[in-house]
């Protein structure tokens, strides 16, 4: 699933994910609960094992909040992710940067640009 808009807000002198991020994580958790509750049927009908299913929530691009340094957004999400199980929250930029590192080069040559999110 994906989310666009404001990613983080100030709360008691710290950056925290917005309620939209929390809602998106809640939706992902509900999907995972559904997979857990229907595990046997899914395995029987589709041959797919869902026991260790996980979810990624894409929440937009740090450029959507130019007043917040990208490092602050990334650190806020890293801290938030440490408290989650089976769900990871990423920005599009983090996803593309990770893919570039995995491929050992730039995705821009493959037709993917940072501004395409």
Mean pLDDT along residues 84-111? 83
- Is residue 63 scored above 60 in pLDDT? yes
- Is residue 17 scored above 80 in pLDDT? yes
DSSP three-state, residue 56: strand
pLDDT category of residue 64 using cuts at 50, 70 and 90 = confident
Q: Give all strands (DSSP E) within 1-117, no chain letters.
A: 8-11, 14-17, 55-58, 87-90
Please give the pLDDT value at position 117. 45
Nearest Cα to Cα of residue 80 among 90, 95, 68, 94: 90
Q: Could you tell me if 60 and 90 are in contact, meaning their C-beta atoms sit under 8 angstroms apart? A: no
Q: Could you tell me if 106 and 100 are in contact, meaning their C-beta atoms sit under 8 angstroms apart? A: yes
Exposure string of 16-30, with b = 16+ CB inside 10 Å and e = fewer, is ebbebbeebbeebbe
Task: Report CA 19 to chain centroid distance, whole Å.
Answer: 14
Please give the pLDDT value at position 60. 87
Which stretch of 46-50, 70-74, 95-99 has the lowest confidence by average pLDDT? 95-99
**pTM, two decimal places:** 0.78
């Amino acid at each position: 699933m994906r989310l666009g808009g404001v990613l983080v807000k100030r709360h008691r002198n710290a950056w925290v994910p917005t309620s939209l991020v929390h809602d998106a994580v809640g939706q992902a958790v509900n999907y995972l609960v559904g997979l857990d509750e229907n595990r046997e049927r899914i395995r029987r009908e589709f041959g797919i094992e869902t026991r260790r299913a996980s979810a990624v929530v894409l929440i937009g691009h740090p450029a959507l909040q130019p007043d917040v340094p990208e490092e602050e957004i990334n650190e806020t999400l890293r801290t938030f992710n440490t408290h989650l199980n089976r769900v990871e929250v990423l920005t599009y930029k983090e996803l593309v940067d990770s893919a570039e590192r995995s491929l050992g080069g730039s995705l821009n040559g493959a037709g993917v640009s940072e501004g395409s999110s």
